[in-house]
Amino acid sequence: MASPSLPVQEIPREHTHRVILQGVSWQTYQALLTEMGDNRSSRLAYDRGVLEITMPSDRHETNTKLLERMIEALTEELDLPIKGFRSTTLNREDLQRGAEPDSCYYIQNVERIQGRTVDLNIDPAPDLVIEVDITSPSSRRLVIYKQLGVSEVWRYVGQRVEIYQLHSESYNLCENSPTFTFVSVEIINQFLQQAETQDDTTFIRAWRKWIREKVREKEV
């Protein structure tokens, strides 16, 4: 049986576009992942027959990159091991759910997935996921991440970051990152606001300087 095909069309990159398809089987979802391949900008999310296809905008990608650099600078300055994935596919057939986050990281559980392909049937979910919402909500994917067991989500929505922690099978909003406990939502958003008028190098240097100052304060 031939794999299903999706119509190809040019999508304006200044806007994030989202398509929702109902009644899609797990087999069709898997066939689409195979046919579309890895070299694509679109991201898929699947939840028990509902398929969501997202085509990110340029602004979406810019904000994703800023958050990635903030997290990676934190792990470098704190000397924490990390394994990052950019929009990898997280699937659990037994749950009939799957998603491709904007970015995700193994930090606490990095040793459990070192040196091999991640398989969520036997491996833990990523410790931290980034989701960026510019014009379309990621609420459907949050439900999927909850079922997959992602413990922390940084969600950029309405020009601000929100941090969610998985607790008792539900996500709770946090004032501070569970992974980086001295990092508050307030300080993240302050730096993101500054980034609007800074180049990336100036931005990340200021962020690293702030991290080092906080580390020194803790050591005193």
CA atoms within 13 A on the CB side of 57: 14
User: How far is 195 from 203, CA to CA, in rounded Å?
Assistant: 6
The pTM for the full model equals 0.88
- Greater model confidence, 40 or 220: 40
pLDDT for 87 equals 72
pLDDT at residue 9, rounded to an integer: 40
**13-17, 114-118, 120-124, 143-147: which has the minimum mean pLDDT?**
13-17
Question: For the segment 2-14, what is each residue's pLDDT rounded down to a tens digit?
Answer: 444 444 344 445 5
Which DSSP symbol is given to 29? H
Q: What is the pLDDT of residue 162?
A: 96
Average pLDDT rounded to a whole number, residues 182-193: 97
Q: What is the pLDDT of residue 15?
A: 57
Domain ranges in the chain are 58-219
On the question of pLDDT at 217 being above 80, the answer is yes
**159-173 average pLDDT score:** 94
d(CA 43, CA 157) in angstroms, rounded, equals: 18
CATH number listed for the domain at residues 58-219: 3.90.1570
What average pLDDT does range 116-136 have in this prediction? 88
